[in-house]
Amino acid sequence: MPQWTEERPMRVVTGFGYVGAKFLKEKGFKHVSFLAGDGALESYPAMGMADAIVDLVSSGTTLRENNLKEIEGGVILESQATLVASKKSLNRREGVLEISHEMLERLEAHLTASGKIMVTANMRGNSAEEVAERVLSQTSLCGLQGPTISPVYCTLDGNVAVDYYAINVVVPQKSLYKSIQQLRSIGGSGVLVSKLTYIFDEETPRWRKLLSELGM
């Protein structure tokens, strides 16, 4: 990076002014000016409004999408979210256990959905079984338990008929293009891609563990 001066300080946009300033001072940066920002900080360097940003980073995807990268040695601190509860309250206070159950369900479902997407496509076929056989022949299209296949109804010569079948399958995001290629190879068309927020399983492992800890 260029030599920053008092007349031309390094411009840093952040919502964490205190820890950011403390960190850079400890690293020997003397000429730094901070601009408070809240949301979409990744856009500031591209607009010429900042030389660097200090922000929360999880996977780094947003940084890469904005042609930014983490500076080597630039981790200010690492954090995690922890759910802490009173065993006595969970056992005795009305409604607390139910609320905890919902929170754990949502957290677990969100973690399960992370990195997965829903792919939907239409495919001609004589039956759902025939279409399923073609879909399951492709390694990237097996889904969680298997693809969901349902008839697509249309009007043909004045009568309701089934000419296409809709395929819904959950795939890893990193395998998206491979999955689309495989769908096309077996006759899939009109492919839609949807981001998943939650995937709820039959029962949450963390909930079972909590009940065990409570002796319930």
pLDDT in tens, 64-79: 888 898 888 889 999 8
* Mean pLDDT of the region 146-170: 89
1 pLDDT higher than 70: no
The pLDDT confidence band at residue 158, using thresholds 50, 70 and 90, is confident
Measure Cα distances from 211 to 87, 154, 204 in Å.
10, 50, 11
Return the structure tokens found at 182: 């495989």
Q: What is the pLDDT of residue 6?
A: 86
Q: What is the pLDDT of residue 211?
A: 85
The Cα diameter of the chain in Å comes to 79
SS (H, E, C) 21-54: HHHHHHCCCCCEEEEECCCCCCHHHHCCCCCEEE
β-strand partners of 35:
13
22 pLDDT higher than 70: yes
215 pLDDT higher than 90: no
- Please report, rounded to a whole number, the percentage of residues in the chain having pLDDT higher than 70: 99
Pick the closest to residue 184 from 140, 133, 123 (CA basis): 123
166 pLDDT higher than 90: yes
* Mean pLDDT of the region 171-191: 91
114-125: per-residue pLDDT in tens?
Answer: 989 999 999 998
Could you give the CA distance from residue 118 to residue 176 in angstroms, rounded to a whole number? 9
8-64 in CATH: which number? 3.40.190.10
2 pLDDT higher than 70: no
The pLDDT confidence band at residue 129, using thresholds 50, 70 and 90, is very high
* Mean pLDDT of the region 17-25: 92
What architecture does CATH give domain 115-193? 2-Layer Sandwich (3.30)
The average confidence (pLDDT) of the chain is 89
Q: What is the pLDDT of residue 4?
A: 86
